[in-house]
Amino acid sequence: MAQALKVSSTTADRRQAQLEALLEAAEKRICADGMQNLKARDLAADIGVALGGLYNIVADMDDLMLRVNSRTLGRLGEAAAAKADHMPLNSREEGIARLTAVAMAYLDFARSNLRLWRMLFETHVRSAVPEWANEDQLRLFRHIAEPLHVIMPELNTDELTVRARTLFAAVHGIISIGLEERLIAVPPQKLADEIAWLTRAACR
Sequence ranges of the domains in the chain: 1-58, 59-202
Q: In whole angstroms, what is the distance from residue 60 CA to residue 40 CA? A: 9
Can you name the CATH fold of 1-58?
A: Arc Repressor Mutant, subunit A (1.10.10)
Q: How far apart are CA 26 and CA 42, in angstroms?
A: 9
* Amino acid 27: pLDDT: 98
- Our separate counts of H helices and E strands in the chain read 10, 0
CA-wise closest residue to 32 among 115, 111, 110, 112: 115
Q: What is the dihedral of CA 4, 5, 9, 10, to 10 degrees?
A: -30
pLDDT at site 158: 95
Domain pair 1-58 / 59-202, same fold = no
Topology adopted by domain 59-202? Tetracycline Repressor; domain 2 (1.10.357)
Distance CA 150, CA 91 (A): 7
Count of Cβ atoms closer than 10 Å to residue 129 Cβ: 14
pLDDT number for residue 6: 53
- Please report the pLDDT score of residue 1 as a whole number: 57
Parts of the chain with a pLDDT under 70:
1-8
